[in-house]
Amino acid sequence: MRFTISAAKPEDCKDIERMIMELAVYENMPDQVKISHKELERDGFGPNPFYHCLVAEVPEEHKSKDGNTTVGYVIFFYTYSTWKGRTVYMEDLYVMPEFRGNGIGKALLGAVAKEAKDQLCSRLQFSVLDWNKPSLDFYMAKGAEDLTAKEGWHFLRFHGMALDNLAQEAP
Amino acid sequence: MRFTISAAKPEDCKDIERMIMELAVYENMPDQVKISHKELERDGFGPNPFYHCLVAEVPEEHKSKDGNTTVGYVIFFYTYSTWKGRTVYMEDLYVMPEFRGNGIGKALLGAVAKEAKDQLCSRLQFSVLDWNKPSLDFYMAKGAEDLTAKEGWHFLRFHGMALDNLAQEAP
């Protein structure tokens, strides 16, 4: 199947919003999604964007059963390791189920890896749920390391009242 | 003990490099550090900095046994959740052992939390090693959630040859 990968444009944000929800449903956490295409437009396309996004599109003749031609996306941003310097963090990589097996996920991942190399990043990082065996297998087969299993890194978060309380301790 | 918290300047990078190494020694991974003040200067102070840094300083009369007055730092950057939008990620928070117990860590953490709120971020995230009980206790007591324990998120990475191979699959 032919497809193209290109930088997302603001008008892609409704499709991205739709696929973010599809991915959250797959991850059993659809209630967590509090974002809409409006925030995605505001945060991804200014002079200092909070994220970068690539979308995968298929020709009209291959459109999905619901009529979509934008069938996958990847969202990433630049982070920083105080041990190794510039790093890319991949927040989401998603291909609609009916379009899997055509190399679209591999192409999206490859495009992010190339961005990482072009920007002198030595690492591409991301998070996967421990029960999501298909995704873990996909990444491990390509040489990913599981830092939680190997070194014991746990992922922590402050939000809501806990974050508000911390902010009040600012000097 | 009096101390001040302020945005790091390029001339602080040698002190930051020193404390990055002290933290890596504490985390039992000093061999992992491949960064120097030169990369820290290059990457933290341009028009699109890869990270932000605050430093804690004490007056000359309280200098450390090795003569340092810059005694703590925090490094953070902005990331993005496709569920909740703008997020701050705290890469390192460190206070030299002989200066702990004076509220410096709390002040650095508070300053980052305030930055997060000011930038409309709803989350402050970070990673901790599972054996680092003092740090886990410090954060959990302030209301942090352990997403690895609670939801099963694992932290994965491509680097070296695996990253090079991926980049060659870019379309």
- What are the extents of the domains in chain A? 4-126
B chain contacts of residue A80, beta-carbon cutoff 8 Å? 43, 50-51, 75, 77, 91
Min Cα separation B171/chain A (Å): 6
Give B5's pLDDT tier (boundaries 50, 70, 90).
very high
Contact at CB, A43 and B86, closer than 8 angstroms? yes
Q: What is the C-alpha separation between A94 and B115, in angstroms, rounded?
A: 31
pLDDT in tens, B114-153: 999 999 999 999 999 999 999 999 999 999 999 999 999 9
Taking 50 as the pLDDT cut, the residues of chain A under it are none
Mark out the alpha helices in chain A (DSSP H runs).
Answer: 13-26, 37-44, 104-118, 133-141, 147-151, 160-167
Catalytic residue among A73, A89, A94, A139: A139
Q: What is the mean pLDDT of chain B?
A: 95
Written as one letter, the residue type at B3 is F
Q: Of chain A residues 98-117, which have a CB less than 8 A from chain B?
A: 106-107, 109-111, 113-114, 116-117
Portion of chain B with pLDDT greater than 90, in percent: 93
Q: What is the C-alpha separation between A166 and A54, in angstroms, rounded?
A: 35
Write down the pLDDT at residue B104. Answer: 96
Those residues whose C-beta lies under 8 Å from the C-beta of residue A79, and which sit 6 or more positions away, are A87, A88, A89, A125, B50, B77, B79, B89, B91
A94 catalytic residue (yes or no): no
Domain B4-126 bears CATH identifier 3.40.630.30:
yes
Min Cα separation B51/chain A (Å): 6
Nearest to A85 by CA among B35, B20, B83: B35
* DSSP 8-state code for residue B97: G
Q: What is the C-alpha separation between B74 and B97, in angstroms, rounded?
A: 15
Give B27's pLDDT tier (boundaries 50, 70, 90).
confident
The complex's ipTM? Answer: 0.91
Check: CB of residue A10 under 8 Å from CB of residue A41. yes
Q: What is the C-alpha separation between B69 and B64, in angstroms, rounded?
A: 7
What residues form DSSP beta bridges with B53? B75
Contact at CB, A82 and B171, closer than 8 angstroms? no
Given a cut of 90, whether residue B166 has pLDDT beyond it is: yes
What integer is the mean pLDDT of B158-164?
A: 96
